[in-house]
């Protein structure tokens, strides 16, 4: 597995972590955590989307490098 | 004599030797961290009911600084992206750009270690105090305006202090003969500590948040310190490859690029371990 492939795996796991973090923060916000937790959740969600977009662009840019 | 398959892939594996080597090493690392994660799960599932710190082996919640942990996660994700960009720069024959990205990676790694050090220091100045009336509380000691590290009840006796000021954590858990309950301490909204004076004669035991204090701290420090050691290892190797060993780029550019790929694989693995450590330790 090349660094390119491992990077894609890494970014995918990071996106999943950020989605989890976002859910965790929104859940805290609903249980009386307040506006800060809601902002936290929104930031995590936005970062997850940004990372997913980065991953897609990265894949396009490194088309010529092998996955092995 | 030339070492074979440092650049071209071996016909039987389809990979150059360093890549096989680093993946074998990473497989052993997966077993090491896998065993520790399994231990964490078993210890946590087997932890007795009741409130920490009244039950020392119960599982404590909310002791770690989530904003700092999240920031450190962002720092490591950024470092993985920059190490990837550094390798890509070598593939595009741009050594200057490679050095720039590697420097950012190294700075991220050092920043991570500094924040981790700050978190550790906060734990070393944080105490669980058990009183002679059967109650227990947590907080930071304040002695002459500073927070001492690693004190115990023996230190209090040796220093002959009559009383200590404690920045008591909110919420506080206290134990009463009738059972456990959370004590509601009067405080302003957003306040996380209240100052309280405790007589030394009333203190049964004083323990800092160190591995010997409880199962949670033992596994927390074991896993995060082992991870930090990997970060230090990565910093040393990346620093050497970027600034001292960079001369190889002029003589054997392909071999050098492959070495950087191996370093990048290791760095991604170390970051991936943190991506699992963070939610397990800080959030769940």
Q: How far is CA B278 from CA A17, A63, B148, B252, in A?
A: 9, 32, 28, 39
CA B83/CA B209 separation, integer angstroms: 35
Interface test with B, best of A5, A17, A31, A63 (most B CBs within 10 A): A17
Query: Does a structural domain hold residue B180?
Result: yes
CATH number at residue B112: 1.20.120.80
Residues B152 and B29 in one domain: no
Q: For the CA atoms of chain B, what is the radius of gyration?
A: 24
CA B210/CA B88 separation, integer angstroms: 42
Name the minimum distance, in Å, from the CA of A14 to any CA of chain B. 7
Cβ <8 Å between B80 and A13? no
Residues B105 and B241 in one domain: yes
Query: Does a structural domain hold residue B4?
Result: no
Residues B65 and B203 in one domain: no
- Among chain B residues, the shortest Cα distance to A66 is held by B15
Residues B207 and B220 in one domain: no
Cβ <8 Å between B80 and A62? no
User: What's the distance, CA B214 to chain centroid?
Assistant: 17
Q: How far is CA B133 from CA A51, B168, B182, B202, B205, in A?
A: 53, 17, 16, 8, 12
Residues B142 and B41 in one domain: no
Residues B28 and B149 in one domain: no
Cβ <8 Å between B77 and A3? no
Residues B23 and B106 in one domain: yes
CB-nearest to B84 from A7, A17, A24 is A7
Tell me, what's the pLDDT at B172? 56
Residues B78 and B185 in one domain: no
Tell me, what's the pLDDT at A20? 96
Number of domains in chain B: 2
Cβ <8 Å between B265 and A17? no
Residues B175 and B278 in one domain: no
Name the minimum distance, in Å, from the CA of B86 to any CA of chain A. 11
Spell out the per-residue pLDDT of chain B, length 284, in tens.
788 888 888 999 889 999 999 999 999 999 999 999 999 999 999 998 877 777 778 888 788 999 999 999 999 999 999 999 999 999 999 999 999 999 999 999 999 999 999 999 999 999 999 888 888 888 999 998 899 999 999 999 999 999 999 998 876 555 444 444 555 556 566 667 788 899 999 999 999 999 999 899 999 999 999 999 999 999 999 999 999 999 999 999 999 999 999 999 999 999 999 999 999 999 98
Name the minimum distance, in Å, from the CA of B193 to any CA of chain A. 18
Query: Does a structural domain hold residue B6?
Result: no
Tell me, what's the pLDDT at B177? 43
Sheet holding B203-208, edge to edge: B193-199, B163-169, B136-142, B126-131, B203-208
Query: Does a structural domain hold residue B9?
Result: no
Query: Does a structural domain hold residue B151?
Result: yes
Residues B102 and B147 in one domain: no
Cβ <8 Å between A54 and B81? yes
Backbone angles phi, psi at B145, to 5 degrees: 80, 0
Q: Write down which residue in B212, B240, B255 finishes a domain.
A: B212
Q: Which residue has the tokens 């662009």?
A: A57
Query: Does a structural domain hold residue B116?
Result: yes
Residues B110 and B137 in one domain: no
Query: Does a structural domain hold residue B56?
Result: yes
Backbone angles phi, psi at B203, to 5 degrees: -90, 125
Name the minimum distance, in Å, from the CA of A54 to any CA of chain B. 10
Q: Write down which residue in B212, B233, B257 finishes a domain.
A: B212
What residues of A are in contact with residue B269 (Cβ under 8 Å)? 6
Residues B25 and B49 in one domain: yes
Q: Write down which residue in B212, B241, B258 finishes a domain.
A: B212
Tell me, what's the pLDDT at B182? 53
CA B5/CA B20 separation, integer angstroms: 11
CB-nearest to B261 from A3, A54, A62 is A3
Q: Give which of B102, B82, B90 is closest to B254, Cα–Cα.
A: B90
Give the domain extent around B249.
17-122+214-283
Query: Does a structural domain hold residue B89?
Result: yes
How many CA within 13 A on the CB side of residue A38? 6
Three-state SS at B165: strand
DSSP class of B178: T
CB-nearest to A24 from B80, B268, B283 is B283
């Amino acid at each position: 597995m090349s660094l390119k492939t491992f990077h894609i795996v890494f970014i995918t796991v990071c996106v999943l972590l950020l989605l989890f973090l976002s859910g965790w923060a929104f859940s805290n916000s609903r249980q009386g955590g307040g506006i800060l937790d809601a902002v936290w959740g929104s930031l995590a969600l936005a970062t997850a989307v940004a990372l997913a977009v980065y991953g897609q662009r990265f894949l396009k840019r490194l088309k010529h490098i092998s996955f092995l | 004599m030339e070492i074979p398959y440092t650049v071209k892939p071996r016909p039987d594996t389809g990979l150059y030797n360093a890549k096989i080597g680093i993946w074998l090493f990473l497989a052993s690392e997966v077993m090491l961290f896998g065993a520790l994660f399994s231990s964490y799960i078993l210890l946590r599932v087997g932890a007795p009911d009741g409130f920490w710190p009244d039950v020392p082996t119960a599982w404590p919640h909310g002791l770690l600084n989530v904003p700092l942990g999240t920031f450190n996660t962002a720092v490591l994700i950024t470092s993985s992206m920059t190490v990837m960009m550094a390798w890509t720069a070598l593939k595009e024959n741009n050594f200057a750009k490679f050095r720039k990205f590697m420097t950012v990676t190294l700075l991220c790694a050092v920043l991570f270690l500094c924040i981790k050090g700050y978190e550790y220091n906060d734990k070393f100045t944080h105490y669980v105090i058990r009183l002679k009336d059967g109650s227990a509380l947590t907080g930071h000691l304040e002695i002459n305006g500073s927070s001492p590290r690693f004190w115990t009840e023996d230190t209090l006796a040796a220093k002959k202090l009559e009383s200590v000021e404690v920045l008591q954590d909110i919420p506080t858990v206290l134990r009463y003969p009738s059972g456990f309950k959370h004590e509601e301490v009067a405080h302003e909204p957003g306040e996380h500590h209240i100052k309280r004076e405790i007589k030394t004669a009333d203190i049964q035991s004083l323990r800092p948040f160190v591995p010997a204090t409880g199962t949670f701290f033992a596994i927390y420090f074991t896993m995060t310190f082992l991870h930090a050691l990997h970060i230090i290892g990565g910093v040393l190797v990346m620093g050497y490859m970027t600034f001292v060993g960079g001369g190889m780029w002029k003589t054997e550019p392909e071999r050098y690029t492959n070495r950087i790929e191996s370093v990048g694989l290791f760095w991604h693995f170390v970051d991936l371990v943190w991506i699992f450590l963070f939610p397990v330790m800080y959030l769940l």
